[in-house]
Structure 1
Amino acid sequence: MEVAGKVAIVTGGGGGIGGALVAALARGGARVVVADLDAAAARAVSDRVNSHYPGVTVGAGGDVSDTAQIERLIALAGAEFGPVDMYFANAGVAGAPGLDAGELDWDLSIDVNLRAHVRAAKLLVPQWVERGEGYFVSTASAAGLLTQIGSATYSVTKHAAVGFAEWLNITYGDRGVRVSCLCPMGVNTRLLYEGQESGDALGMAATRAVTSAGAVLEPETVADIVLAAVQEERFLILPHEQVLEMYRNKGADYDRWLRGMRRFQRSLLGQ
């Protein structure tokens, strides 16, 4: 799909990959609603992009795991630019490490990393089927294909996000709805370093695991890769190409892969 002339919503657009996606979409000729829980951050990204491409974005605050808030964003896009053609479900949370994660931690991770995607798709996909075209881009993680040392909430919900994107692709791919799933490793965003800042041994190990497994990419690099994949209508977006080989090794010999991950975890924890 070409992005020129399209109307997009980017969640988690107040910085990181989301902010870079907003800028890349604007350069490509799209008009964008920038959504973020932090309304000031969303407006700041919108203002910065509009300073280069006047009037092509609008910023809005809101909890994008809330159906009513997603409806509000869709209505805002319609009022400002027209019907939504593309939805980038990019907002995410890292989650608490270990089995100490409480019920509220699990609820937050499930809501933001998974249900936000489901709720947006329920609102948009029927419209796209009727119009014959639409694009849903899910930001998951390499953790959704492999795992995440430290955080069960992150690993489990990112696996679920990949599974939902797969299901969307299979179920609606022949009806005009395109779906891609972004699964990067380390990207230079605030989210990457939350575990390191937590002071928790598993949390710090999680950050070291990601930063030692491959290059830490800049959000702008990832955004360019995403839009290239969208143009090709490619499902799996892997900014770190080695993830594919890791995923193949996992499937080829699961027990060996698990032993290797335990060994890797021991090295990170200094055991």
Structure 2
Amino acid sequence: MIRHDFTGRVALIIGGTSGLGLASARAFARAGASVALAARGEEKGREARAALEAEGARVIFLPTDVREGASVARAVEGTVMHFGRLDFAVNSAGQGGDMAPLESTNQDVWDDVMACNARGVWLAMRHEIPAMLATGGGAIVNISSIYGLAGRAAHHAYVASKHAVVGMTKSVALEYATRGIRVNALCAGATRTPAMRQAETYVPDLVRALVDEHPMGRMATEDEMASAVLWLCSDGAGFVTGVPLPVDGGFLAA
């Protein structure tokens, strides 16, 4: 992993207690940043905070329901109250929904996926950006997917929500391009998160077929994704905004 120095900076990771979010939180902490974890599950939040503290991180956990504006506002306010500022945000909370033919799609599932994956990112940016502007700017990474840039049969809610993340990222990046706020999206390919490892146990054929669609023939590691997140937040990416960055083992090139 490329070494970044974020000493004195503060990162808020929404959806930061597992998977790509937790990997990003750990990477920020190792780079010297103070980290706020925001997520729904309080037990997992306490466990994630304790794990990062054991590594020497300055970290807090803020119970947060990304679907609710007041809850997201409290997470941002709590981060600023505790650490004094907000420099980086990673909006990683998300869920997959069901895989079903269009005529069998459940509307409640659709609404729930869109509320978490799309409205949650919108709410997060609404509250993160004013906090960043108060101290001169910052960088936001919204976690999308290869399916924010491509389609997949029978996975309508997830694909639609991740396309929405890419669209919002571009629009908000344009709005704040001259105000010190950079906004990008990470379009992640198959990544060996705990959820994917669980899927390998229960639906191995489905996972193998997904991996086979990636020309590199493997899943990404969480650290590879976290490295991309940190780069997008770094000064090295200072002229990068509004970009849906594929980190996908060649998936979109095929």
Aligned partners of 1:40 and 1:61 also within 8 Å: no
State the partner residue of 1:34: 37
Q: Match for 2:136 among 132, 137, 140? A: 132
Task: Describe the SS at the equivalent of 2:247.
Answer: coil
C-alpha deviation, 1:176, in angstroms: 0.8
C-alpha deviation, 1:2, in angstroms: 5.9
| Separation of aligned partners in 1, 2:5 and 2:173 | 18
C-alpha deviation, 1:130, in angstroms: 4.9
Tell me which moved more, 71-80 or 229-238.
229-238
| Separation of aligned partners in 1, 2:245 and 2:233 | 9
Unaligned runs of 5+ residues in structure 1 are 247-271
Unaligned runs of 5+ residues in structure 2 are none
Q: Does 1:221 pair with 2:205?
A: no
Change (3 A) 1:114 1:2: farther
The higher relative CO (CA closer than 8 Å, separation ≥ 6) is in 2
State the partner residue of 1:181: 185
Number of residue-to-residue matches in the alignment: 241
Task: Describe the SS at the equivalent of 1:148.
Answer: coil
Once superposed, what is the RMSD of the aligned Cα atoms? 2.4
Q: Does 1:113 pair with 2:117?
A: yes
Task: Describe the SS at the equivalent of 1:59.
Answer: strand
C-alpha deviation, 1:239, in angstroms: 2.3
State the partner residue of 1:83: 85
Aligned partners of 1:93 and 1:191 also within 8 Å: no
* TM-score, structure 2 as length reference: 0.85
Q: Percent identity?
A: 25
Letter in 2 for 1:227: L
Runs of 4+ in 1 over 4 A off after TM superposition: 193-199
Aligned partners of 2:80 and 2:131 also within 8 Å: no
* TM-score, structure 1 as length reference: 0.80
Q: Match for 1:6 among 6, 9, 25? A: 9
The structure whose Rg is larger is 1
Q: How does 1:20-99 map to 2 (within 5 A)?
A: 20-54=23-57, 56-98=58-100, 99=102
Letter in 1 for 2:212: S
Higher helix share: 1
Task: Describe the SS at the equivalent of 1:217.
Answer: coil
Q: How does 1:153-164 map to 2 (within 5 A)?
A: 153-164=157-168
Change (3 A) 1:237 1:5: farther
| Separation of aligned partners in 2, 1:184 and 1:166 | 17
C-alpha deviation, 1:24, in angstroms: 0.3
Tell me which moved more, 24-33 or 57-66.
57-66
Letter in 2 for 1:90: S
| Separation of aligned partners in 2, 1:227 and 1:145 | 21
Change (3 A) 1:45 1:90: same
C-alpha deviation, 1:140, in angstroms: 0.3
Letter in 2 for 1:187: T
| Separation of aligned partners in 2, 1:13 and 1:188 | 16
C-alpha deviation, 1:79, in angstroms: 2.4
Task: Describe the SS at the equivalent of 1:175.
Answer: coil
| Separation of aligned partners in 2, 1:209 and 1:152 | 19
